[in-house]
């Protein structure tokens, strides 16, 4: 039976120093619509930031609001927010951290080592992001990322007489809670087989990727539920930060992660192969391998 190590990545501010959603907003609002600042101010207002008293008010989720607002701007410009548009108009403005693709491939290639092959231990990369799935997928070679979970639009064009109506319909909104659902989909293998319900109970031995085989890498407070879930069930969590940011910004962003000990490692987003991040993840992969090797030895002794 094949075994799987799952390395799960956030995207914005984790694999890229950029915010891919803001880049998309900037491109669309420069063509037609409000300025990016006005756009995000409107989102905050619709979310309920200005309502009082705060202790009585629960803020709405960001994703449905900005996805709807962005879809209206795109529709008014006769644009479909699909892979073709993102590849043509946005991807060139998204910069991955230096060395990311080599880093990901090097980790994935561990599965080709003799010891990993003997234990039938595979290594997969997943992205779980509140950004746009169809955009994020354009930023990587297809062979690097096994699955991307993110916000999605369904798009189509209606023809009414001589008029074409462009529709961009938000069909999936990712937030902190949905990130944890995505992790369960990975663990149970339901992302590969839709017949396997994410709500079904699965014995640990039958899980596609047990939680102790998971490594989660994120950058800030929105990753806390995912980090907590994986660490509570035996996996490990890593928080990364942009070392080019000011010390004040770094401390502010990582405050909840460090004070609550919600990550096993807090380290710069350095994707060099001799950096702390690579060494930590590689070591964890070998720890998982050694666990399976030890289990096999125990079976032989018995």
> What are the DSSP calls for 89-117, one per residue?
HTGGG--PPTTHHHHHHHHHGGGGSHHHH
Token pair of 2 as six digits: 């094949």
Which pair of structure tokens corresponds to residue 294?
């030890």
Strands 236-241 and 214-218: what pairing? Answer: parallel
pLDDT at 289: 97
Count of domains forming the chain: 1
Cβ 198 vs Cβ 232: under 8 Å: no
Please report the pLDDT score of residue 55 as a whole number.
46
> Strand order in 265-268's β-sheet?
163-172, 147-160, 121-132, 3-9, 214-218, 236-241, 265-268
Distance CA(236)–CA(256), nearest Å, equals: 17
Closest residue by Cα to residue 122 from 290, 278, 238, 285: 285
Sequence-ordered strand ranges (E) for the chain:
3-9, 121-132, 147-160, 163-172, 214-218, 236-241, 265-268
As a whole number of angstroms, the distance between CA 22 and CA 27 comes to: 9
pLDDT computed for residue 297 by the predictor? 73
Q: How many CA atoms lie within 13 A of 225 on its CB side?
A: 13
pLDDT of residue 286: 98
Residue 15, domain extent = 3-301
Whole-number pLDDT of residue 191 = 87
- Output b/e per residue, 60-86; b: 16+ Cβ within 10 A: eebbebbbebbbebbbeeebbbbbebb
Q: In whole angstroms, what is the distance from residue 182 CA to residue 225 CA?
A: 12
Residue ranges of the chain with per-residue pLDDT less than 70 = 31-34, 48-60, 195, 258-260, 298-302
- Residue 53, preceding bond cis, omega within 30 degrees? yes
CA dist., res. 171 & res. 168, Å (int):
9
The string over 118-146, giving b where at least 16 C-beta atoms fall within 10 Å of a residue's C-beta and e elsewhere, is: ebebbbbbbbbbbbbbbbbbbbbeeebbb
CB 166 within 8 A of CB 182: no
User: CATH code at 123?
Assistant: 3.40.50.1000
């Amino acid at each position: 039976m094949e075994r799987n190590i799952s390395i799960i990545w956030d995207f914005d501010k984790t694999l890229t120093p950029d915010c891919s959603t803001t880049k998309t907003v900037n491109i669309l609002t420069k063509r037609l619509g409000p300025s990016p600042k006005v756009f995000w101010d409107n989102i905050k207002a619709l979310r309920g930031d200005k309502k009082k008293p705060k202790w009585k008010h629960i803020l709405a989720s960001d994703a449905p609001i900005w996805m709807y607002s962005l879809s209206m701007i795109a529709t008014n410009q006769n644009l479909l927010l699909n892979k073709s548009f993102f590849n043509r108009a946005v991807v060139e403005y998204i910069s991955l951290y230096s060395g990311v693709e080599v880093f990901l491939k090097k980790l994935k290639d561990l599965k080709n080592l003799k010891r990993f092959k003997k234990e039938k231990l595979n290594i997969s990369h997943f992205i779980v992001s509140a950004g746009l799935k169809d955009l994020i997928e354009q930023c990587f070679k297809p062979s690097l990322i096994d699955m991307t979970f993110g916000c999605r639009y369904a798009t189509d064009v209606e023809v009414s007489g001589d008029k074409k109506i462009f529709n961009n319909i938000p069909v999936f909104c990712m937030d902190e809670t949905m990130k944890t659902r995505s992790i369960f989909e990975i663990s149970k293998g339901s992302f590969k087989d839709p017949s396997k319900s994410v709500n079904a109970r699965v014995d640990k031995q039958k899980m596609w990727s047990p939680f102790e085989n998971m490594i989660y890498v994120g950058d800030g407070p929105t990753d806390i539920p995912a980090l907590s879930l994986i660490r509570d069930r035996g996996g490990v969590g890593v928080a990364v930060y942009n070392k080019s940011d000011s010390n004040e910004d770094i401390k502010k962003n990582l405050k909840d992660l460090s004070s609550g000990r919600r990550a096993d490692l807090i380290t710069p987003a350095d994707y060099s192969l001799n950096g702390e991040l690579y060494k930590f993840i590689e070591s964890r992969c070998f720890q998982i391998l050694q666990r399976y090797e030890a289990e096999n030895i125990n079976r032989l002794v018995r």
